[in-house]
C-alpha cells in the first residue's frame, strides 16, 4: 500500500505560472498549475492523466484559471469505436505510409518538420510562431518520457512527414502532440495518426484514448468530436478522488 502511495505522490516541485493570454478564448487569461516530476512512474502518469492533467516533458499541468472552467477533458472509448466513411478513406490513403513506434528522439528532421508545420499554421490559422530550439524540443517532447512515452513516426519514401508524441499508460494512450508536413495535407495525417492510436490501443487492450481538452467554439479542437464514442470530464479531481467521466457527443 505504501509503495502505491509513493508512486502516486512522487517528489515534485509544484508552482503556478503568472497569467498570460488564452489561446482558446479571446480576451481571457490563463493560469496553469504545474508539477515538475523528475522520476514519474507510469502509475502516477496514468492517475493524473485520467484526472484531466496533461504532460510536456517532466511537467504535468492543468489550468486553474480565475472565473473560467471551459477546459473539459475528452477521451475516446476504444472498445466501442466506430469509423466514419472519411476516416476509412484516410486509412486507405495511407496504405503506403510507413509507421515506426519508438522512444522519443531528437534529430534535425524533427526540428525542421516541427518548424515547417508551425510556420504553415501561423500563415493559415494565425498561430503564434517562432522556431523551436533543440533544447526546447528536448525539454518538451523527449525528456520525461521514461518507459511510457513514445513517438510514432510517419514516413513516406524514406522522408519523415509526421511525428505523434504519445504516452502509453495503464488504461489508455494519452495524445500529447502531433505535427506533420503540410505538403502532405492530402493524406489527412492528423486523422490517420489518431486512428492509428486507436488501433494500437486495441492491440494493447487499452480502453481509452485521452484527447486533451475541449473548449466550446475553439477552432483548433473542432476535429475532436469526430472520433466517437467519447466521454468528458469536468474539472480536475484530486488523486484520492475517482474521476467522474460521462458519455458525451457534441451536438451538430
Question: How does DSSP assign 110-171, residue by residue?
Answer: HHHHHHHHHHHHHHHH-----PPPHHHHIIIIITT-TTTEEEEEEEETTEEEEEEEEEE-SS
Phi, psi (rounded to 5 degrees) for 142: -110, -50
Of the candidates 87, 47, 117, the residue with the CA atom closest to the CA atom of residue 196: 87
pLDDT score of 132? 95
Q: In angstroms, rounded to a whole number, what is the distance separating the alpha carbons of residues 241 and 208?
A: 19
CB 150 within 8 A of CB 123: no
Q: What is the DSSP letter of 224?
A: G
Q: In angstroms, rounded to a whole number, what is the distance separating the alpha carbons of residues 193 and 198?
A: 9
Phi, psi (rounded to 5 degrees) for 137: -60, -45
pLDDT score of 1? 45
pLDDT score of 220? 86
**Integer angstrom CA distances of residue 163 from 92, 141, 157, 233, 243:** 19, 11, 15, 27, 30
Tens digit of each residue's pLDDT, the chain (252 residues)? 455 657 788 999 999 988 999 888 989 999 999 999 999 999 999 999 999 999 999 999 999 999 999 999 999 999 999 999 999 999 999 999 999 999 999 999 999 999 999 999 877 777 777 899 999 999 999 999 999 999 999 999 999 999 999 999 999 999 999 999 999 999 999 999 999 999 999 999 999 999 999 999 888 899 999 999 999 999 999 998 999 999 999 876
Q: In angstroms, rounded to a whole number, what is the distance separating the alpha carbons of residues 83 and 33?
A: 36
Look at the pTM and tell me if it is higher than 0.85: yes
Contacts of 138 (CB under 8 A, 6+ apart): 106
pLDDT score of 219? 85
Amino acid at each position: 500500500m505504501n509503495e502505491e502511495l509513493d508512486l502516486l505522490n512522487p517528489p515534485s516541485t509544484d508552482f503556478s505560472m503568472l497569467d498570460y493570454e488564452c489561446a482558446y478564448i479571446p480576451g481571457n487569461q490563463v493560469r496553469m498549475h504545474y508539477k515538475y516530476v523528475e522520476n514519474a512512474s507510469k502509475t502516477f502518469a496514468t492517475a493524473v492523466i485520467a484526472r484531466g492533467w496533461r504532460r510536456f516533458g517532466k511537467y504535468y499541468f492543468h489550468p486553474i484559471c480565475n472565473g473560467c472552467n471551459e477546459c473539459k477533458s475528452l477521451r475516446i472509448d476504444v472498445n466501442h469505436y466506430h469509423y466514419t466513411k472519411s476516416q476509412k478513406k484516410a486509412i486507405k490513403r495511407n496504405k503506403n505510409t510507413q509507421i515506426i513506434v519508438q522512444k522519443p528522439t531528437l534529430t534535425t528532421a524533427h526540428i525542421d518538420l516541427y518548424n515547417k508545420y508551425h510556420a504553415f499554421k501561423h500563415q493559415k490559422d494565425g498561430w503564434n510562431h517562432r522556431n523551436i530550439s533543440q533544447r526546447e524540443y528536448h525539454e518538451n517532447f523527449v525528456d520525461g518520457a521514461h518507459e511510457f512515452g513514445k513517438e510514432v513516426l510517419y514516413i513516406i519514401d524514406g522522408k519523415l512527414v509526421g511525428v505523434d508524441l504519445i504516452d502509453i499508460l495503464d488504461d489508455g494512450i494519452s495524445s500529447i502532440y502531433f505535427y506533420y508536413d503540410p505538403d502532405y495535407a492530402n493524406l489527412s495525417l492528423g486523422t490517420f495518426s489518431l486512428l492509428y492510436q486507436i488501433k494500437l490501443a486495441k492491440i494493447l487492450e487499452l480502453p481509452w484514448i485521452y484527447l486533451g481538452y475541449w473548449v466550446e467554439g475553439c477552432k483548433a479542437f473542432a476535429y475532436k468530436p469526430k472520433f466517437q464514442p467519447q466521454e468528458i470530464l469536468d474539472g480536475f479531481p484530486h488523486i484520492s478522488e475517482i474521476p467522474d467521466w460521462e458519455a458525451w457527443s457534441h451536438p451538430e
